[in-house]
Chains A and B, each alone.
Chain A
């Protein structure tokens, strides 16, 4: 079973990498575009994956933050997240993982209870952010929150230059 490990690779200078894991491309793409617009100084790289394990597990990239995107309208999305979590090394959960739950605003479309996601997030001791990726005005605040978490996560690893560069932007 291939697993992502945070320390497999050395951090590169002035580079930070986010991995977004989620089933619906349309939602992820908006978020990615917004994040890249907000980040202008450093080299931010974003990997988009539908699920884990990554196909390129032979030579996995260094990942500084994993964001699991769960669409509350889709049981398939939750199931995909739960299965992908098994492929993440435990040490990632020390500040390098966060969850994004989208779609809570339209309660009639939700097929997943918020309680289910909260329970999942507690199990993995990671932060949870609610947003509505279908609404354009949420992209900027969501991407700023993610970039902040990324900076926090990076600053916990000594010798990382990237976090300083990110917070300058």
Chain B
């Protein structure tokens, strides 16, 4: 076994938390049952890893086997990457003819739900592929959508896009303004599946029976004056966000570009050619749930701005607002 492959396998296994090790090794399905049984999983991690690497050597693990292990690790730890979304289309064709002399390692793993995980390690004409900075693509074969992990190696992005387009028999590829760590949530938004979770929910439940979000304790010394208002807010919130759990996003970003408008003539700012720019970013561990709770908590008025509530519907969390 090549030294670089051994090192690659060793570093990958070291990343795996102890409580996941057995599950991941079984999913990898490379070491045999007999081999796995010879392992003492209670020893210190370093010696355990050395033992595992020796076993892989016995079985002559290849670079592709190692890459597969890396894919499985990433599948278990999807949230460590930030995922972009690409939409492909068939349209007026672009004819791609490109000559690609760079060395790459490409590996595939199919999962249920018609998804193919593709791992690409990039090299150059002269250097071997760097196995420690791969790009991942999750492609749903019945759809024109692909999700890619944001790569630090930006120069490969156009190439990757073209390759994907050609391989999937499309003609154009566009990057959507949607980005998150949570692949499942991106999938739910892109495929519009986030509102189908509670299909049997009875939406005629009277509001009083639902949790109004405050403790209406039975103490008769407390009189809540704004019950009607609270119900109105609850109703609007429910109409906007639904009763289902929201897909998980960590931020929404708004870029505003506008020219200065003034009634005064000869104002320095009015003569400025360059538009004024402003960037607003909302961050949260769970942005959409946080937005949903703003009005019921009394922090904002209902209804919320459509710029915030349109996020799952428009499948965007990056917005550019310009003068019309």
Residues of A within 8 A of B298 (CB): 22-26, 50, 77
Q: Which residue of A lies closest to B300 (CB)?
A: A76
- How many chain A residues touch B (CB < 8 A): the figure is 24
Is A36 a contact of B228 with CB atoms below 8 Å? Answer: no
Q: Does A32 contact B (CB under 8 A)?
A: yes
- Which of A36, A44, A54, A76 makes the CB contact (< 8 A) with B225? A54
Q: Does B213 contact A (CB under 8 A)?
A: yes
Is B225 a contact of A49 with CB atoms below 8 Å? Answer: yes
Is B222 a contact of A46 with CB atoms below 8 Å? Answer: yes
Q: Which residue of B lies closest to A79 (CB)?
A: B301
Bound CA span A43–B221, Å:
8
Q: Does A169 contact B (CB under 8 A)?
A: no
Interface of A is mostly: mixed
Residues of B within 8 A of A44 (CB): 221
In the complex, chain B residues 225-258 whose Cβ is within 8 Å of any chain A Cβ: 225-226, 228-230
Bound CA span A74–B221, Å:
28
Q: Does B44 contact A (CB under 8 A)?
A: no
Given A23-B299, A29-B214, A47 contacting B225 (CB threshold 8 A)? yes
Residues of B within 8 A of A22 (CB): 298
Residues of B within 8 A of A76 (CB): 299-301
Residues of A within 8 A of B218 (CB): none
User: Closest Cβ of chain A: how far from B212's Cβ, in Å?
Assistant: 9
Is B297 a contact of A50 with CB atoms below 8 Å? Answer: no
Residues of B within 8 A of A51 (CB): 226
Residues of B within 8 A of A24 (CB): 297-299
User: Closest Cβ of chain A: how far from B224's Cβ, in Å?
Assistant: 5
Identify which of B226, B297, B300 gathers the most chain A CB atoms within 10 Å of its CB. B226
Residues of B within 8 A of A45 (CB): 221-223
User: Closest Cβ of chain A: how far from B302's Cβ, in Å?
Assistant: 12
Is A55 a contact of B226 with CB atoms below 8 Å? Answer: yes
Identify which of B214, B230, B299 gathers the most chain A CB atoms within 10 Å of its CB. B299
Q: Does A48 contact B (CB under 8 A)?
A: yes
Is B214 a contact of A25 with CB atoms below 8 Å? Answer: yes
Interface of B is mostly: loop
Q: Does B3 contact A (CB under 8 A)?
A: no
Identify which of B222, B225, B228, B301 gathers the most chain A CB atoms within 10 Å of its CB. B225
Q: Which residue of A lies closest to B215 (CB)?
A: A29
Given A25-B214, A46-B222, A55 contacting B299 (CB threshold 8 A)? no
Give 1 or 0 for each of A136-149: 1 = CB within 8 Å of chain B CB: 00000000000000
Bound CA span A77–B255, Å:
27
Bound CA span A47–B221, Å:
8
Q: Does A95 contact B (CB under 8 A)?
A: no
Q: Does A153 contact B (CB under 8 A)?
A: no
Q: Does B219 contact A (CB under 8 A)?
A: yes
Q: Which residue of B lies closest to A46 (CB)?
A: B222
- Which of B213, B221, B229 makes the CB contact (< 8 A) with A50? B229
Q: Does A108 contact B (CB under 8 A)?
A: no
In the complex, chain B residues 276-324 whose Cβ is within 8 Å of any chain A Cβ: 297-301
Residues of B within 8 A of A36 (CB): 219, 221-222
Residues of B within 8 A of A103 (CB): none
User: Closest Cβ of chain B: how far from A76's Cβ, in Å?
Assistant: 6
Residues of A within 8 A of B219 (CB): 36
Q: Does A56 contact B (CB under 8 A)?
A: yes
Give 1 or 0 for each of A12-48: 1 = CB within 8 Å of chain B CB: 0000000000111110010010001000000111111
Provide 22 A-B residue pairs closer than 8 Å at the C-beta atoms, listed in order of the A residue.
Answer: A22-B298, A24-B297, A29-B214, A29-B215, A36-B219, A36-B221, A45-B222, A45-B223, A46-B221, A47-B224, A47-B225, A48-B222, A48-B223, A48-B224, A48-B226, A50-B225, A50-B298, A51-B226, A54-B225, A56-B225, A61-B223, A76-B301
